[in-house]
Amino acid sequence: MAKRKTLVGFEGATREIEIEVPDGEPEVWGADARLRVVGGAVPRVDGFPKATGRAEYTADVAPPGMLHGRMLRAPSAGGTLLSLDLSAAAKAPGVKYAHPVAGPGTRIPLEGRDLAFLVADGEDRLEDALALCRFEIEPGPVVATVEDAVADGAPPVHPDRPGNARGGGGGRGNPGADFEGAEKAMRGADAVLERTYRTPVQVHTPLEPHGVVVRPDADGGITVFASTQGTFSVIDGIAGALRLERDRVRVVTENMGGGFGCKFGASAPGSSFGVEAARAAVALGAPVRAMFDRREEMLLGGNRPSSIQTVRIGVKKDGTVLGYTVRARGTAGIAERGAGVANPMIYDLGKQAKEEVAVLTHAGPAAAFRAPGHPQGSFALESALDEAADAIGMDPLELRMRIDRNPIRQAQYRLGAGRFGWAVARKVKPGAAPGPVKRGVGMGSAIWYQGGGPGSAVEVTVHRDGRVEVANGAQDIGTGTRTVLAVIVAEVLGLDPGEIRVRLGRTEWPSGPGSGGSTTAPSLGPCARAAAEAAREAILGEKPAAGPAAWRAACARMDGEKREFLGRRPPQYGQFQGGVAGVQFAEVEVDTETGVVRVVRVLAIQDCGRVVDRLTAESQVIGGVINGISMALFEERVLDRRTARMLHADLEGYRIAGAKDVPDIEAVMFEVANAGNSVGMMGLGEPPKVPTAGAIANAVFHATGARVRELPLSPARVLAALAEAGR
């Protein structure tokens, strides 16, 4: 380890700090680094294949002789399987395989539970064969809502868990939650508010559904083309189940059509279809394709758990928050974990306490969903802070500026307030705008924690003709990882990003992360830099990179046809500020006669450490905000209360934001040199999703003077809140 000095901070607020860096690591790109292509607006290097329809997704893979597989599914939740007869289906034309994955006595806890896996030589014949399967289910009672699940005498979702409730969002309880202490702290408050906020179950809805194509290979191994956020995670489920050596399970994800947290492992949160497809492919000695249809995706593909959060907040007249407590319940369906809400650690809230209870219901299991736990927790927190500000007669932005110690966000508040015209807009008191259609503004703050970590490696291969290839086994889920790696390598070697060929998404290539927690780019970026620096030193020696011609001339002199350089990265260095910071401002228009809310504009100011490619970074921010608008205004999974059937397992009824629901979104990348790693990258996919719904809810209050405490902010809820407020 060596101590090194580096300049950290942001424009107008930089300072030198000393960090410990392992020997041999490249110099950190600090605030004073002069970079040629990093930070520019580089078009996505895989943009043309995607725009022209030539990019191959898992859904497009069709090896010769491919067969089609699909799961037979229970039509509704509850009860027990009595019998399953696949004999007629097995004899149907074109059917190659009919394998039960449930038997007499199997409990049916959710609509769509796996019953049997069938394979046929065409989708149509497969559909015909599924209709020939015979089964009998003894019906049983179900619970569809949190309230029903915890009522006396409710049927247990899992027989060994009567009462359907489990403490702790992460399944670990909330040890040390000191509600008494928080209450004691709040005794000195000028206002103590207790409010209950609710958020619904939200379905991930990636456009490409979960799916695999499994091809048996000549060496006894298999190749799994998978629509996944974790190529290496696919090995986990399949190698064990099929007793294959891990390196004989080769996973390929050339392009993937969206995941947002729900695509890890070999199958899907609510089904084992991927493992069964692999089993069938090996048994048949032929490639088997199994893609979810939309109904399967909506039921079994994962979801964001619901929340009912009862918040208490105590605030003094000067804005000091003395205490903040949350008692939260939510359902992750049949999953026992993951129903927690995050209290984003943004503000100084005095003494805090939190209790989380995961409530089991007869519905599809939850999965991580873009900033798991955070938008729910943020909606409650930002709403409660606004209500507290209203109670003490303070501007909501001013309150936040008084309880936020983060210097980055302080700068962002000032920048955003000016750019958005906050002070002018807030001169109008809540609900005081004239006329039936009223405008209002609100805001909220973002945080994220991670800057990636070790465990990955990137290989840079330099060919004799000067061509440079970059390879890693992880996937690009659409965030622009290929482009980011191309930019970093191009920067180091003095080349154009378009000249760098980046190959991602094959487990035969160096180890890479699963795309969760916004860690992919910041994990891989420093690896790419380390590999590129090694290549530069080996090819150019002490000479600085001097453009493509000099590079090619040097490569022509090298020994051998090609040279490979492997780059790794150490854990995060000591940083200027932990985590990333963001602030969002939203303006809405509310028709108080119809209750319809329209988002008029959003300003999102977001830090992600160093911006490597401005275009794709802005796209992440815009996308996060749109996902937040969709959550704020539209999304809500509805189950029939008596049967637990999903009423809209499709894209007509389950509404997500469309082009006409989305306003102009201004994404401002707030660059911070944080010295966390050699590039200075931090995670970006998740933080822009965190504050949007809360900011919109606050804007609706400003417009109308009526507080809607339940998402989505549907016309009915807005009208009910207006009526309750007497407006």
Partner 1 sequence: MGTPDRGVDRRSFLKSAATVAAGGAAAVPAAAAALQEAGAPAGPPVLGPGPVPFSIRVNGKERALRLEPRATLLDALRGSCGVTGPKEVCDRGACGACTVLLDGAPVPSCMVLALDAEGRDVVSVEGLLGAADAPHPLHEAFVARDALQCGFCTPGMVMSCAGLLGRSVDPSPDEVRDAIAGNLCRCGTYPRVVEACRDAAAALRKGGK
Which CB atom, from 301 or from 440, has the smaller least distance to partner 1?
301
From 11, 18, 32, 56, residue interacting with partner 1 (rule: CB under 8 A): 56
Which CB atom, from 26 or from 209, has the smaller least distance to partner 1?
209
**Closest separation between CB of residue 52 and partner 1, Å?**
5
Q: Does 665 bind partner 1 (CB under 8 A)?
A: yes
**Dihedral angle sign, alpha carbons of residues 152, 153, 156, 160:** positive
**Closest separation between CB of residue 209 and partner 1, Å?**
8
Q: Check if the beta carbon of residue 652 is closer than 8 Å to that of residue 607.
A: no
**Closest separation between CB of residue 195 and partner 1, Å?**
30
Q: Does 660 bind partner 1 (CB under 8 A)?
A: yes
Which positions from 481 through 500 interact with partner 1, judged by CB under 8 A?
A: none
From 7, 14, 36, 47, residue interacting with partner 1 (rule: CB under 8 A): 47
Q: Does 51 bind partner 1 (CB under 8 A)?
A: yes
Residue 673 neighbours by CB under 8 Å, 6+ apart: 6, 7, 8, 9, 10, 14, 29, 30, 31, 33, 576, 609, 610, 680
Q: Check if the beta carbon of residue 274 is closer than 8 Å to that of residue 88.
A: no
Written as six digits, the tokens of 531 are 């590999």
Locate tokens 């909330």: which residue?
174
Which CB atom, from 621 or from 675, has the smaller least distance to partner 1?
621
From 18, 32, 124, 138, residue interacting with partner 1 (rule: CB under 8 A): 124
Question: Cis omega (within 30 of 0) on the bond before 430?
Answer: no
**Closest separation between CB of residue 255 and partner 1, Å?**
6
**Closest separation between CB of residue 629 and partner 1, Å?**
9
Q: Does 664 bind partner 1 (CB under 8 A)?
A: yes
State the DSSP code for 429.
P
- The percent of the chain in helix, strand and coil, each rounded to the nearest 5, is 30, 25, 45
Return contacts of 23-26, CB within 8 angstroms, 24+ apart: 25/530, 25/570, 25/678, 26/529, 26/530, 26/533, 26/678
Q: For residue 717, give the 3-state DSSP assignment.
A: helix
Q: Does 479 bind partner 1 (CB under 8 A)?
A: yes
- Cross-strand partners of 10: 13
Which CB atom, from 106 or from 518, has the smaller least distance to partner 1?
518
From 112, 206, 269, 516, residue interacting with partner 1 (rule: CB under 8 A): 206
Q: For residue 494, give the 3-state DSSP assignment.
A: coil
Which positions from 421 through 460 interact with partner 1, judged by CB under 8 A?
A: none
**Closest separation between CB of residue 269 and partner 1, Å?**
17
Q: Check if the beta carbon of residue 49 is closer than 8 Å to that of residue 32.
A: no
State the DSSP code for 687.
G
Binding mask 243-262 for partner 1 (x = CB under 8 A): ------------xxxx-x--
Written as six digits, the tokens of 319 are 């804005």
Q: Check if the beta carbon of residue 369 is closer than 8 Å to that of residue 206.
A: no
**Closest separation between CB of residue 213 and partner 1, Å?**
13
Which positions from 585 through 644 interact with partner 1, judged by CB under 8 A?
A: 615-616, 618-619, 622-627
Stretch that binds partner 1, among 57-65, 277-285, 346-354, 694-702 (CB under 8 A): 57-65
Q: Does 477 bind partner 1 (CB under 8 A)?
A: yes
| Site for partner 1, rule CB under 8 A | 43-44, 46-48, 50-57, 59-60, 62, 123-124, 204-209, 255-258, 260, 293-294, 477-480, 615-616, 618-619, 622-627, 650-652, 656, 658-660, 662, 664-665
